[in-house]
Amino acid sequence: MELSKLKIIVTGAGGGMGAHFATRLHEAGAKVAVGDVNEAGLEKLPSGIFKRKLDVSSEDDIAAFTQWAHEQMGGLNGLINNAGILRDGLLVKKDKATGEIKKLSKADWDAVIGVNLTGATFMVRELVAKMLETGEKPGVIVNISSIARHGNRGQSNYSAAKAALAANTVTWAKEFAPYGVRCTAVAPGMVETPMTQGMNQKARDALVAAIPVGRVGVPEDLWLAVKFCLECDYFNARTIDVDGGLSM
């Protein structure tokens, strides 16, 4: 699909990759509606982009946002499912000094699953439902998964959500094919964003050392993959790893 023909939602656009994707789409002539809980971040985006607070952990908020985006852009035919959070921690850990057993909390599990999987799923549901209601086609979805979907220490919640999102990329591509909607995914490795900048420095250094290209990714690296997913009408039901060769 030509970028200039897109009427597309970008979630998690208050900063980092989401803000970069929204800006690039706007520059290419697409109509773009963005959402995030970080309203201050949204206001930093270029004028001409439609902006509204969005909490993807709220089913009602997702439905209202999708309807609003459709009205603002005069239609909907795309989604970049980018919103995500981290609540890292080992599932079970024994303190070496005290012997205390610490467990990943249900609150941290639920928060990550609620945003990264349930929220992403309902965003897809509402987008496609609106497209079917209005008869608009073709359409395209880009889910932002992660290479953590292969499994990563201290990320049981995040890995589970991102693995499920990659699996459902295949599921949804099959389900939505009769309606002319492609479903794709991009899986970043370590990317320079506000979320990764808060990492423990020792862990960050170890990760960077394991990246064969010798550097952390930047949002533009991921945009190139997202752009391919949007533009290549023969690409469907697959996840692209963009990780510099990193193996977790």
Q: How many CB atoms lie within 10 A of CB 20?
A: 22
Is 179 one of the annotated active-site residues of the chain? no
List the catalytic residue out of 21, 50, 65, 158: 158
The gap from C-alpha 183 to its chain's centroid, in whole angstroms, comes to 13
Residue 190 CA neighbour count, 13 Å, CB half: 24
pLDDT at 133: 98
pLDDT beneath 50: ranges in the chain: none
From CA 194, how far away is CA 217, in angstroms rounded? 13
pLDDT at 248: 63
pLDDT at 232: 98
Q: Which domains does the chain have, with CATH numbers?
A: 3-242 (3.40.50.720)
Q: Give the three-state DSSP class for 195.
A: helix
